Amino acid sequence: MVTYFHLEFPRKIVTRPVVSDGIAKTGVSVNILRARIDETHGEIIAHVQGEGSKTEEFAEFLREEGVIVEELKNSVSVQVDGCTHCGACISVCPVEAISMNESHEVIFDSEKCISCLVCVPICPVRAIRPPPI
């Protein structure tokens, strides 16, 4: 099973190796797609893969250690009428949910999107919108 998570690390645990401990305990495979970490706070967008219920065991382990864990399910929306097909969003998408076809039109695959929101501020015409809260 493959799951995308947004992980938030409060100050008290940001320097502890909780992700690697969780990997060792559950045997999941973790690919960090985006991270922003300093000595006061940490955030990670992670692609987690494991057999059976291992991804949920990993998430539960992190929660017990104090990590705020959110499964990413909703995707951003692309307003096709407003898109100028400039392609600025393509290079920043960590999971290749945005591509360009042979006609040089931007194509958005909502099934691949993990709502990391990296593409939202990149769009010069604001044709990409974050998911509703």
Q: Which residues of 79-108 are buried (b: 16+ CB within 10 A; e: fewer)?
A: eeeebeeeebbbeebeeebbeeeeeeebeb
Task: Identify the band that residue 2 occupies on the pLDDT scale cut at 50, 70 and 90.
Answer: low
The model's pLDDT over 35-84, given as tens digits with 9 standing for 90+, comes to: 889 989 999 988 899 998 999 999 999 999 999 998 877 778 888 788 99
Mean pLDDT, the chain, whole residue set = 89
Hey, which CATH number is domain 75-133, 3.30.70.20, 3.40.228.10, 3.40.47.10, 1.10.520.20? 3.30.70.20
- For residues 28-39, give the mean pLDDT: 89
CATH class (in words) of the domain with range 2-71? alpha beta
Task: Identify the band that residue 100 occupies on the pLDDT scale cut at 50, 70 and 90.
Answer: very high
pLDDT of 132 strictly over 80: no
Structure tokens at 28: 């999941």
Q: Which residues of 38-74 are buried (b: 16+ CB within 10 A; e: fewer)?
A: eeeebebbbbbebeeebbbbbbebbeebebebeebee
- Say how far apart CA 7 and CA 42 lie, in whole Å: 8
Q: Where are the domains of the chain?
A: 2-71, 75-133
pLDDT of 133 strictly over 60: no
